[in-house]
């Protein structure tokens, strides 16, 4: 029920964990978000400062975790918070990933790996084969490498960096393309920058494989009222953030190309 | 649709059914308007547009209230020059009237934006003189008899399309302002915009909305909006479009009985884009059961002495 989920709950951060120089994971108690599905998101209120959308990275036993990268004033402020700090939570919102069986591949870019971590935890006992491709700009931004390695066999984790400080020196799309030439997968999941998602969509279309992609757009209300996050006829916050292959085909003229800016005009991505 | 009991004419606008998307909800794009029209809306009112672009407020912009929703989005819009292109594109695809909502900081700005919207193909203009949370526009104009009259007169003189004025409930006597708007040239009135409201968090002891104050919509405001429509129907003869907390056919029928000829739906669309279909179906059944041939027959029925 949206009304209950949309009601702001005030809670305290119970744990802060540093993942990289620019990413911290915050854990707090929240009953409603602790039953969220992978791919869903929440709105986190930094009292008196801002409210930001965040993918849920983990949810278990009433505890919820989100991984936050410093990208602006609000996230910089949040990064100064320690355990015990007060925050407000709305959510969970949106449509998450669907579960699938068989051979599954997860492709994450930057902090886009966070919702895929949550998904992988649920899929690992249900799938026959789990593989990851993870990419980042540089070694210290490759998140959760140990955790991911533990969830699949090490040979099934491919990492890439743009500067070659770890893994292969390339974009995630490169090993993905060669992997799909060699192996079959029943489902591919992705989350990351929209330009990356667009390229992955083109690759999976070429191989006629199903894809579920989590998109990120300017998000204000989180409930489908304001229209800030629209892509085509879809509201990313309500109809997404996870989109299927069929839906991605409908919005391919905008995917990775243009989005709606703060003033409602279409701007290039 | 000619013979449907729901088809109606409102101040020159042909409506296949008397439900409309209220201003401010869901989008700026032709695709979003089309999706709402597919959900059964008889007309679309766009988000409010001004002469210059505006980015709106920082988050939080919405707060859930017990039986409604507070918002202070802050009228973000790309400006009429960019939006005119979207109006043109929308008009090539949309089969229901497109009503463009306009706001400005002076009568001149309202007029320039309205004229450009009409030139781009708007079927009607709705003047937002009632937004409760942006300074020097909206309700600050609609609450002043002099400014309201000036804005409506100037826009009316500049355009040759249906002119709708959306009124604020945040006034002592809405009937007085309704009469002023009609005397100044309004062809129809929308009643009402949101109620000025506030949400405070007891733990942090802070207002939640970044703008502090916002507008309340949803079920909580329905009885207030219904009373406003009733009051206005007592004093003016132009068609009234009821707006405020409508989410089902029963609410809609109540607004017709109070004096509305059509309704706008906002908050309820957020949860259900097809709410228009459900409402028109329900109203249709009601009319047939009560042996009415047209929705027009029940407009203002609650006023009979």
Give the range of the structural domain holding residue A211, as residue numbers without chain letter. 103-268
A107/A220 same-domain check: yes
Q: Produce one character per residue of B270-289: b if its CB has 16 or more CB atoms within 10 Å, e if not.
A: beebebbbbbbebbbebbee
A81/A121 same-domain check: no
Residues A221-238 pLDDT 10s: 999 999 999 999 999 999
A86/A111 same-domain check: no
Distance CA A106, CA A100 (A): 12
Mutation for A interface: B27, B57, B83, most A CBs within 10 A: B27
| Distance from the A128 Cα atom to the nearest Cα atom in chain B, whole angstroms | 38
A130/A204 same-domain check: yes
Q: How far apart are the first and last CA of chain B?
A: 33
Residue A30 lies in a domain: yes
Q: Compare CB distances from B77 to A6, A52, A264 and report the shortest one's residue.
A: A264
**By the CB < 8 Å criterion, does B61 face chain A?**
yes
Residue B166 pLDDT class (50, 70, 90 cuts): very high
As a whole-number percent, the residues of chain A with pLDDT over 90 amount to 91
Chain B residue with Cα closest to A6: B64
The answer to whether the CB atoms of B201 and A2 lie below 8 A apart is no
The answer to whether the CB atoms of A88 and B208 lie below 8 A apart is yes
Q: Compare CB distances from B54 to A45, A86, A263 and report the shortest one's residue.
A: A263
| Distance from the A62 Cα atom to the nearest Cα atom in chain B, whole angstroms | 21
- Phi, psi of A16, deg, nearest 5: -125, 130
Kindly state the greatest CA–CA separation across chain B: 58
- Of A70, A92, A114, which residue is a domain's last? A92
Distance CA B198, CA B189 (A): 26
As a whole-number percent, the residues of chain A with pLDDT over 70 amount to 99
Residues B70-121 pLDDT 10s: 999 999 999 999 999 999 999 999 999 999 999 999 999 999 999 999 999 9
Q: Is B46 exposed, middle or buried (0-12, 13-18, 19+ CB in 10 A)?
A: buried
Pairwise pLDDT comparison (B26 vs A37), residue with the higher score:
A37
Residue A2 pLDDT class (50, 70, 90 cuts): low
Q: A 184-243 residues with CB below 8 A of B?
A: 220-228, 230, 232-233, 235
Residues B19-34 pLDDT 10s: 999 999 987 899 999 9
| Distance from the B29 Cα atom to the nearest Cα atom in chain A, whole angstroms | 8
Residue A98 lies in a domain: no
Residue B3 pLDDT class (50, 70, 90 cuts): low
A122/A234 same-domain check: yes
Residue A166 lies in a domain: yes
A163/A237 same-domain check: yes
Q: Which residue, chain included where needed, has tokens 């907390």?
A: B245
A59/A121 same-domain check: no
The answer to whether the CB atoms of B32 and A230 lie below 8 A apart is yes
A46/A122 same-domain check: no
Chain B residue with Cα closest to A86: B204
Which CATH number is A27's domain given? 2.40.30.10
A143/A260 same-domain check: yes
Residue A156: left if φ>0, alpha if ψ -120 to 50, beta else—which one?
alpha
What pLDDT score does B200 carry?
97
pLDDT at residue A110 is higher than 70: yes
For B260-282, give the DSSP string.
-SEEEE-HHHHH-TTHHHHHHHH
- Of A48, A63, A92, which residue is a domain's last? A92
**By the CB < 8 Å criterion, does A45 face chain B?**
yes
Residues B145-156 pLDDT 10s: 999 999 999 999
A110/A81 same-domain check: no
pLDDT at residue A28 is higher than 70: yes
| Distance from the A6 Cα atom to the nearest Cα atom in chain B, whole angstroms | 6
Token duo for residue B11: 């101040």
Residue A97 lies in a domain: no
| Distance from the A40 Cα atom to the nearest Cα atom in chain B, whole angstroms | 17
pLDDT at residue A91 is higher than 70: yes
pLDDT at residue B271 is higher than 50: yes
The answer to whether the CB atoms of A232 and B271 lie below 8 A apart is no
As a whole-number percent, the residues of chain B with pLDDT over 90 amount to 96
Residue A79 lies in a domain: yes
Q: Residues A226, B255, B139, B80: what is their CA dihedral angle, to the nearest 10 degrees?
A: 50
Q: Compare CB distances from B61 to A220, A233, A263 and report the shortest one's residue.
A: A220
Q: B 15-34 residues with CB below 8 A of A?
A: 24-29, 31-32, 34
Residue A15 pLDDT class (50, 70, 90 cuts): very high
| H or E segment to which residue B283 belongs | helix B275-289
What pLDDT score does B26 carry?
84
Mutation for B interface: A51, A77, A263, A267, most B CBs within 10 A: A263
The answer to whether the CB atoms of A86 and B26 lie below 8 A apart is no
Q: Strand, helix or coil at B230?
A: helix
- Name which of A179, A181, A159 is nearest A170 in CA terms: A159
Q: B 111-140 residues with CB below 8 A of A?
A: none
**By the CB < 8 Å criterion, does B205 face chain A?**
no
A47/A159 same-domain check: no
Number of domains composing chain A = 2
- Does domain B8-303 correspond to CATH entry 3.20.20.70? yes
Residue A13 lies in a domain: yes
**By the CB < 8 Å criterion, does A260 face chain B?**
yes
Mean pLDDT of B136-152: 94
- Of A59, A92, A125, which residue is a domain's last? A92
The answer to whether the CB atoms of B31 and A233 lie below 8 A apart is yes
Which CATH number is A162's domain given? 3.40.50.80
pLDDT at residue B1 is higher than 80: no
Chain B residue with Cα closest to A1: B271
| Chain B residues whose beta carbon lies within 8 Å of the beta carbon of residue A232 | 31
pLDDT at residue B2 is higher than 60: no
């Amino acid at each position: 029920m949206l009304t209950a989920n949309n009601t702001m709950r005030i809670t305290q951060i119970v744990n802060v964990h540093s993942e990289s120089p620019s990413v911290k994971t915050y854990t707090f108690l929240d009953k409603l978000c602790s039953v969220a599905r992978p791919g869903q998101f929440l709105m986190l209120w930094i009292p008196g400062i801002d409210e930001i959308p965040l993918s849920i990275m983990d949810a278990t036993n009433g505890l919820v975790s989100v991984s936050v990268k410093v990208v602006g004033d609000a996230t910089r402020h949040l990064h100064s918070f320690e355990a015990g700090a007060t925050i407000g939570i709305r959510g969970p919102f949106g449509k998450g990933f669907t579960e699938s069986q068989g051979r599954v591949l997860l492709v994450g870019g930057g902090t886009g790996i966070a919702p895929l971590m949550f998904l992988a935890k649920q899929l690992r006992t249900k799938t026959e084969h789990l593989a990851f491709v993870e990419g980042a700009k540089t070694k210290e931004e490759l998140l959760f490498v140990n955790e991911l390695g533990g969830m699949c066999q090490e040979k099934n984790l491919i990492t890439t960096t743009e500067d070659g400080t770890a893994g292969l020196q390339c974009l995630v799309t490169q090993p993905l393309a060669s992997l799909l030439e060699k192996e079959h997968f029943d489902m591919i999941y992705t989350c990351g920058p929209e330009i990356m998602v667009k390229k992955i969509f083109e690759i999976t279309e070429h191989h006629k494989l199903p894809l579920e992609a989590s998109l990120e757009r300017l998000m204000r209300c989180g409930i489908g009222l304001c229209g800030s996050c629209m892509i085509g006829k879809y509201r990313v916050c309500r109809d997404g953030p996870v989109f299927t292959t069929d839906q991605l085909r409908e919005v391919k003229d905008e995917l990775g190309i243009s989005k709606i800016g703060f003033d409602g005009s279409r701007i290039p991505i | 649709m000619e013979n449907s009991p729901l088809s109606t004419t409102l101040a020159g606008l042909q409506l296949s059914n008397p439900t409309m998307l209220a201003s401010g909800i869901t989008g700026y794009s032709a695709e979003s308007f089309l999706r709402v029209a597919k959900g059964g809306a008889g007309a679309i009112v766009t988000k409010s547009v001004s002469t210059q672009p505006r980015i709106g407020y920082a988050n939080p912009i919405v707060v859930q209230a017990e039986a409604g929703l507070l918002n202070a989005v802050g009228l973000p819009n790309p400006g009429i020059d960019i939006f005119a292109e979207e109006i043109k594109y929308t008009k090539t695809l949309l089969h229901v009237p497109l009503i463009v909502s306009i706001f400005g900081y002076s009568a001149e700005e309202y007029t320039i934006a309205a004229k450009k919207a009409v030139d781009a193909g708007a079927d009607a203009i709705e003047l937002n003189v009632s937004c409760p949370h942006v300074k020097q526009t909206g309700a600050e104009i609609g609450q002043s008899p002099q400014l309201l009259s000036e804005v409506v007169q100037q826009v009316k003189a500049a355009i040759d399309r249906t002119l709708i004025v959306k009124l604020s409930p945040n006034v002592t006597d809405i009937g007085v302002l309704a009469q002023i708007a009609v005397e100044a040239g309004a062809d129809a009135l929308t009643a009402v915009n949101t109620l000025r409201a506030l949400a405070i968090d007891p733990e942090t002891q802070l207002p939640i909305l970044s703008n502090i104050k916002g507008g309340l919509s949803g079920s909580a405001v329905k009885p207030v909006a219904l009373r406003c429509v009733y009051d206005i129907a007592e004093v003016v003869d132009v068609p009234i479009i009821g707006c405020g907390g409508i989410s089902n056919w029963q609410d809609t029928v109540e607004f017709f009985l109070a004096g509305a000829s059509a309704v706008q739906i906002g908050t309820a669309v957020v949860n259900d884009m097809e709410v228009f279909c459900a409402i028109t179906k329900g109203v249709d059944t009601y009319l047939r059961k009560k042996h009415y041939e047209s929705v027009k027959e029940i407009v203002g029925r609650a006023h009979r002495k």
